[in-house]
Structure 1
Amino acid sequence: MAAIKIVSFGFLHAPPPEADVVLDLRRAFRDPHTDPRMRELTGRDRLVRRTVLRTSGVRRLLAATVRQVQAYTEGPSAERIIIGSGCAGGRHRSVVVADKLARRLRRRGHTVTVQHRDLHLPVVQH
């Protein structure tokens, strides 16, 4: 079974060039950054997690991504797959989706590592 690495990132800091699959969470999903209560929080905070996961379409995207990863890992030469989970700054949506995706894939027996590449960076103004 292929090793899976998920990298959360901000498009404003550039996507990871090594990613095999990139999830772009900027347009279709509610941005916690627009709410002053959540702007300084991250995807590790409960309020942000709940807000992102309650956004219409996020759970369907997670399910579709799990199916896509399954297809990639069934290939005969699949040793490792890298998934990028990106939002504008890399602190909110991308983190929540990366963590939730990792949990779903681990439940299916995959070895998954998660790197929150831009989580430590200052809040971007967009």
Structure 2
Amino acid sequence: MIVTGLSGAGKTLAIRYMEDMGFFCVDNLPPKLIPKFAELCYQSSGKIDKIAIVVDIRGGGFFDDLFECLYNLKELGYDYEILFLDAADNVLIKRYKESRRMHPLVKEGRIIQGINMERERLKSVKEKATYVIDTSYMQPKQLKETLLNLFGDSQASQSMVISVVSFGYKNGILVDADLVFDVRFLPNPFYIDELKNQTGKDPDVRKYVFSFPETQIFLNKLEDMLDFLIPYYIKEGKSQLVIGIGCTGGKHRSVAIADFIYEMLRSKGHRVDVSHRDIHNKEE
């Protein structure tokens, strides 16, 4: 996939989304190197089978080699498509002013001059494009949805990855969590001599943690909350949701609860993984 288009039209955002969709992405590769790069990817024996390469006027004189490069790709038997991102002049000007950046073709002078020059230079590329997306009035999530509809795997594109992570507050809160649930209100197995040196992975600790009515009430309410929230996160285009489960040391209660949530979410068909940040710490 050759990704090109007007500067400021959203190529950087598009390439990030395509990377999330499994594309191997390269930004600003000189066109003359594309056939050689395609050959290297072909030799990967299928390990690299979806490639997105951003080519635009940042390449200066190299950009003029694009059509010769595309001709060479066809001659070598490599299939390609062109994704062209466009936007209205007034929108591009606004984006440039908000970012306080100069147009790459006009280091001195008015932004509109650079836009006009770029449009003229890209005219033949746009005419050859397989897909043209006008991002003028698109929110980022709308661009993502458009790309998912065009290039995403139908099953994977409609779900996000959920990471359930247990942690101990005494070692610091989980900084990358979207949702954090504190389970320190539950009775602590650390103060039971025969459970102290075990973890939430051990059956005896799990049995202890889940034996209390408040644990069952909490899990039922948490399941209801996640059933409510997750579809809305997916609808908003979120690609990953990190759920933190914290107890004092991250070894007993949070581990048992995190594993329960993992199994519960997996049974509902979500893409989910679980990890335990502090499970190997010596004491709680």
Q: Name the TM-score, length of structure 1 as normaliser.
A: 0.91
Matches within 5 A, 1:94-109: 94-109=254-269
C-alpha deviation, 1:40, in angstroms:
0.6
C-alpha contact (below 8 Å) 1:29/1:52 kept by paired residues:
yes
Matches within 5 A, 1:84-99: 84-99=244-259
Q: 2:177 aligns with which of 19, 40, 48?
A: 19
1:37 maps to 2:194:
yes
Structure 1 gap ranges (5+): none
Please, what is the CA RMSD of the aligned residues? 1.2
Per-residue CA distance 1:70-99 (angstroms, 9 max, x = gap):
222212223221111111000000000000
C-alpha deviation, 1:66, in angstroms:
2.1
Task: Name the aligned partner's letter for residue 94 of structure 1.
Answer: S
Secondary structure of the residue that 1:42 maps to in structure 2? coil
Matches within 5 A, 1:43-54: 43-54=200-211
Aligned partner of 1:110 in structure 2 is 270
Higher RCO structure (Cα 8 Å, ≥6 apart): 1
Secondary structure of the residue that 1:115 maps to in structure 2? strand
Structure 2 gap ranges (5+): 1-158
Secondary structure of the residue that 1:112 maps to in structure 2? strand
C-alpha deviation, 1:117, in angstroms:
0.4
| 2: CA distance, partners of 1:4 / 1:65 | 15
Secondary structure of the residue that 1:18 maps to in structure 2? coil
Task: Name the aligned partner's letter for residue 102 of structure 1.
Answer: Y
Tell me the matched-pair count.
Answer: 123
More strand by share: 1
| 2: CA distance, partners of 1:116 / 1:88 | 13
C-alpha deviation, 1:119, in angstroms:
0.4
| 1: CA distance, partners of 2:268 / 2:283 | 34
| 1: CA distance, partners of 2:221 / 2:176 | 21
C-alpha deviation, 1:118, in angstroms:
0.2
Per-residue CA distance 1:2-57 (angstroms, 9 max, x = gap):
2110110000001111111111111x211000111111110011110000011222
| 2: CA distance, partners of 1:62 / 1:123 | 26
More helix by share: 2
C-alpha contact (below 8 Å) 1:43/1:93 kept by paired residues:
yes
Q: Name the TM-score, length of structure 2 as normaliser.
A: 0.42
Q: 1:59 aligns with which of 216, 225, 228?
A: 216
Aligned partner of 1:2 in structure 2 is 160
